A and B are shown apart, each in its own frame.
Chain A
Amino acid sequence: MKRVTLALTLALAAGLSAQAADAQTLKTIKDRGMLSCGVSQGLPGFSSPDDKGNWTGLDVDLCRAIAGAIFNDATKVKYVPLSAKDRFTALQSGEIDVLSRNTTWTISRDTSLGANFTGVTYYDGQGFMVKKSLKVNSALELNSASVCVQTGTTTEQNLADYFKANNMKYEVIAFGTNDETVKAYEAGRCDVFTTDQSGLYANRLKLANPNDHMVLPEIISKEPLGPMVRHGDDQWFDIVKWTLFALITAEELGVTSKNVDEKAKMENPEMKRVLGSDGNFGEQLGLTKDWVIRIVKAVGNYGEVFDRNVGAGSPLAINRGLNNLWNKGGLQYAPPIR
């Protein structure tokens, strides 16, 4: 891990010149024929490889949607698995074009890393998981507990804040990767495993007996997760931002991967604008007129992506909750395509 960081840092120091002057990410990607996408090292539901090495997950689908919009081929993505602490360096050094790796949007990350968040793919919050045998029902009963956490995350700081605010003592054991953290929790090194609540559900599936463990009800932080791009290329920033908005808009309009061709033939003016038979929004982005059709054909709409990866259609079975559309009680909202 240290070697990776070192290599990335050297690349950062030496290669910055090339990246700073050259703001043509889209052109680079087209020339390369591949989108380079930074993902996690394996978090079920968000980004994890299956036994054949195919990546799936919510974060992965965003990359596939972008690749679909550019190449009309969702498979033209190179996935770069990154640990929490290597992810920003990889983006800064130009190793990846977009970081889609359950990363929390905070002001310090938005302002000091030379990168921008483009939106929120998943509204999350930090929670705690414990063994049922501990007979703990609330995070406020965790005084003097040992807590396992992955290093280099906002989780680590929220944890310190929460225990301090509630006047409780704790011991923190911080590991480099998610898998090491889960393994130590399972080995009994700590009483509590903490990360974003979606991550808790995802990691629970990795444990030998998922039913022996429970997620506590408290959510101690706001964790809006979203993709990041480098500073200095506004066109690329727009493409990544509007890919997510296209997914959400498609769900709002009821456009799915199954009915997208029929919907494209409809005479509804909004539908015509979004699906490209009216206006040239796609071309203004640097894409094609049918960009939304391409995106929906690649991965479906936001609702389909959610259900398939983390929602009712997946082993995680997480409720839509905050991630429902704005008109259905959630927070997902896209500015109009017009």
Chain B
Amino acid sequence: MSTEARKPPAQIALKIRRILGGKAGWNGVAVQFAFAAILGWIGYEIVSNARANLENQHIAAGFGFLRNNAGFDVNQTLISYTGSDTFLRVFVVGLLNTLVVSAVGIVFATVIGFIVALCRLSPNWLLARIGELYVEIIRNLPLLFQILFWYLAVLAALPNPRQSISLFGLSFVSNRGLVVPRPIGESGFEAFLAVLAFGIVASLALRIYARRALFERGQMIRIWPYVLGLLFGLPLITMLVFGPPFSFELPQLKGFNFAGGSRIIPEFVALTLALSTYTAAFIAEIVRAGILSVHSGQMEAGSSLGLSRATTLRLIVVPQAMRVIVPPLTNQYLNLTKNSSLAVAIGYPDLVSVFAGTSLSQTGQAIEIIALTMGVYLLISLLTSAVMSVYGWRVSRSLGA
């Protein structure tokens, strides 16, 4: 083959022909372009038609409403927000609420999922049956029902704020949520943060050094005492020198509710519980399948080397299983994020509730708001997929596959 002799432009043209045209060659390319043009034209017609008709009917259009005052309040905001802020800020508030419940849900779902999977695979009869029962019950009930169950069951079980359950007089549990003391930065706060950051970086560096020593020179270095010192000892000494980094504002019952302190609202708890336990049932099955996909000889090889069952799992089986686990696990993460939009049923102020719900009916601009909301979910999902792909690629690479 003398492809080197060909000029580069011709190569590009050929490549296009091969990719787009397939066996049909240049005719195929023409068909592809015609098809794309028709699709584009249909899309343009839909948009311009809707726009013209909205104008005819004097329905407000465009994204100008994002700068208008929202005029309503939201009960969980990660950034400061009042009723006199704009719809754009409502959008950000809702988005952050969606992200936080998804992130926390994903962490819990993964942990619970792995634990349940290991239970199901355990040689202990009781543990295995409990794991099985969990999966079969949770994954066979509708999620919305589970969310409502957690919300109403949790609410019904909790007392009102005046009779709230006190945890050592510091935290209080009631049907208004969990109130905990809120840390307030003091004079030693910056020094404390700096030392803590140094401790974390130094520990990571130490770990990399230790791994290299193990792989290159076969030298085992025990690093955990140093890490302990860096992460806890050093900050402790700083606290003694510079004074306490923060003090706590204690919650106090005033009128109807607690004033002061930080509060975790019951809607958040119920939604996180429901989303993570539900998704965990699916993750458990994925993990189990992944682990079973690793040849049983690997487990036997591990025990013949004298490794315990736990160590064999951790060092030999799970890393190989990850290759099978990661792609379907990504799907579950995406499902969890999308399912978080069921929040509206229990009044958790997520993106769908405050933006595609309240803002939509305050402004009546359905097309813009729904398009924006769908775009955001798409973006979140694509980003999650991208991160998981990178992780999956790293897992495969480390196995030399």
Contacts and interface: CB of A to CB of B under 8 A. Distances in A.
Interface residues of B, number: 50
Contacts of B233: none
B364 interface: yes
Interface stretch (A12-20, A39-47, A240-248): A12-20
Interface in A165-190: 170-176, 180-181, 183-184, 187-189
A173 B267 contact: yes
Contacts of B74: 172, 174
A152 interface: yes
Contacts of A5: 356, 360, 366, 370
Interface stretch (A140-148, A254-262, A313-321, A327-335): A140-148
B152 A1 contact: no
A160 B57 contact: no
B60 interface: yes
A191 B256 CA distance: 8
A84 B57 CA distance: 22
Interface string B347-374: 1010011101110111110110010000
Interface string A222-260: 000000001110000000000000000000000000000
Of B341, B349, B364, most buried by chain A (CB within 10 Å of CB) is B364
Given A184-B347, A187-B156, A232 B361 contact: no
Given A6-B370, A16-B50, A146-B256, A113 B364 contact: yes
A221 interface: no
Nearest to A168: B255
Given A2-B341, A232-B56, A176 B357 contact: yes
Nearest to B72: A156
A195 interface: no
A206 interface: no
Contact of B345 (A160, A180, A187): A180
A171 B176 CA distance: 10
A144 B254 contact: yes
A14 to B, nearest CB: 7
B46 A13 contact: yes
Nearest to A133: B160
- Chain A interface size, under 10 / 10 to 19 / 20 to 34 / 35 or more: 35 or more
Contacts of B254: 144
A205 to B, nearest CB: 21
B75 A160 contact: no
A112 B83 contact: no
Interface in A1-31: 1-2, 5-6, 8-9, 12-14, 16-17, 19-20
Given A13-B46, A114-B54, A176-B345, A183 B256 contact: no
Contacts of A17: 49, 53
A1 B97 CA distance: 19
B50 A184 contact: no
A12 B365 CA distance: 11
B214 to A, nearest CB: 51
B113 interface: no
Contacts of B346: 175, 180, 184
B366 A12 contact: yes
B136 interface: no
A104 to B, nearest CB: 12
Given A1-B344, A144-B257, A157-B72, A20 B57 contact: yes
A171 B349 CA distance: 12
B57 A16 contact: yes
Interface string A91-123: 010000000000000001101111000000000
Contacts of A108: 362
A152 B369 CA distance: 14
B59 A189 contact: no
A55 interface: no
B155 interface: yes
Given A89-B364, A152-B357, A152-B358, 20 more contacts: A8-B366, A13-B46, A13-B50, A85-B357, A87-B361, A88-B361, A111-B58, A114-B57, A114-B59, A146-B257, A151-B357, A174-B74, A175-B344, A180-B345, A180-B347, A181-B347, A183-B152, A187-B156, A188-B160, A188-B175
Interface of B: 46, 49-50, 53-54, 56-60, 71-75, 83, 152, 155-156, 160, 175-176, 254-257, 259, 265-267, 341, 344-347, 349, 352-354, 356-358, 360-364, 366-367, 370
Interface of A: 1-2, 5-6, 8-9, 12-14, 16-17, 19-20, 84-85, 87-89, 92, 108-109, 111-114, 134, 142-146, 148, 151-153, 156-157, 159-161, 164, 170-176, 180-181, 183-184, 187-189, 191, 230-232
